[in-house]
Amino acid sequence: MINRANHFRQQCEFDKAAEVYEKLIAQNDSDAELYWSLALCRYGIEYVDDPLTHKKIATCHRTQFKSILDDADYLAALERADFMQKPVYEAEAKYIDTIQKGILEISNKEEPFDVFICYKESDENGRRTQDSVLAQELYYQLTQEGFKVFFSRITLEDKLGTKYEPYIFAALNSAKVMVVVGTKPEYFNAVWVRNEWSRYLMLMQEDRSRTLIPAYKDMDPYDLPDALSMFQAQDMSKLGFMQDLIRGIRKIVKADEPKPQVVQQTVVQNVGNTQTAPLLKRIKLFLEDGDWNSANDYCNRVLDLDPECAQAYFYLLMTKLNVRSMQEYEAAELPKGISDDEYYKKACRFADVDFKARLENLNKQTIYNFADNLFKKTRSDTDYKKAGAIFDLLGDFGDSSERATECREKAEFAHKENDYMRARSLAKNDTIDDLKKAINLLGTIKNHKDSAQLIEKYKARIEEIKAEELAREQERQRQEEARQREIARQKRRKKIIAIVCAAVVVIGIVGINVRKPILYKSAVSAFNSADYETAYDKFSQIKDYKDANEYLAKPEIIAGADVGDIVTFGSYTWYVINKTDDGCTLLSEKCITERAYNTERKDITWEKCTLRSWMNNDFYNEFSDEEKAMIEKTHNSNPDNSEYNTDGGSDTDDYIYLLSLDEAENVSEDIRAEGSWWWLRSPGIYSDYAAVVSDGGDVYTRGYSVDIEAGVRPALNLKW
User: What is the pLDDT, as a whole number, of residue 408?
Assistant: 84
Q: What is the C-alpha radius of gyration for the chain, rounded to an integer number of angstroms?
A: 45
Task: Give the dihedral of Cα atoms 15, 19, 22, 24; nearest 10 deg.
Answer: -130
User: What is the pLDDT, as a whole number, of residue 459?
Assistant: 92
User: What is the pLDDT, as a whole number, of residue 187?
Assistant: 92
Residue type, 457: K
More confident call, 269 vs 541: 541
**Average pLDDT score over residue span 64-79:** 86
CB proximity list for 479: less than 8 A, separation 6 or greater: none
Q: Supply φ then ψ for residue 700, to 5 degrees.
A: -105, 95
CB proximity list for 575: less than 8 A, separation 6 or greater: 564, 565, 566, 586, 587, 588, 589, 671, 674
Contact assessment for residue 674 and residue 590, using Cβ atoms and an 8 Å cutoff: yes
Q: CA–CA separation, 179 vs 228, rounded Å?
A: 11
More confident call, 165 vs 172: 172
**Average pLDDT score over residue span 33-62:** 78
pLDDT-derived band at 275, boundaries 50, 70, 90: low
Q: What percent of the chain has pLDDT over 90?
A: 26
Q: CA–CA separation, 394 vs 304, rounded Å?
A: 36
**Average pLDDT score over residue span 295-305:** 89
Check pLDDT > 80 for residue 528: no
Lowest mean pLDDT among 14-23, 182-191, 361-370: 361-370
Check pLDDT > 60 for residue 182: yes
Contact assessment for residue 359 and residue 347, using Cβ atoms and an 8 Å cutoff: yes
User: What is the pLDDT, as a whole number, of residue 273?
Assistant: 54
Check pLDDT > 70 for residue 690: yes
pLDDT-derived band at 623, boundaries 50, 70, 90: very high
**Average pLDDT score over residue span 91-108:** 79
More confident call, 714 vs 259: 714
**Average pLDDT score over residue span 88-102:** 84
Lowest mean pLDDT among 453-457, 502-506, 511-515: 502-506
pLDDT-derived band at 704, boundaries 50, 70, 90: very high
User: What is the pLDDT, as a whole number, of residue 553?
Assistant: 66
pLDDT-derived band at 702, boundaries 50, 70, 90: very high
More confident call, 582 vs 272: 582
**Average pLDDT score over residue span 156-174:** 75
Q: What is the mean pLDDT of the chain?
A: 83
Q: How many other β-carbons are positioned within 10 Å of the β-carbon of residue 629?
A: 11
Check pLDDT > 60 for residue 641: yes
User: What is the pLDDT, as a whole number, of residue 650?
Assistant: 95
Check pLDDT > 90 for residue 591: yes
Q: How many other β-carbons are positioned within 10 Å of the β-carbon of residue 308?
A: 16
User: What is the pLDDT, as a whole number, of residue 265?
Assistant: 32
Contact assessment for residue 54 and residue 17, using Cβ atoms and an 8 Å cutoff: no
Q: CA–CA separation, 265 vs 270, rounded Å?
A: 9
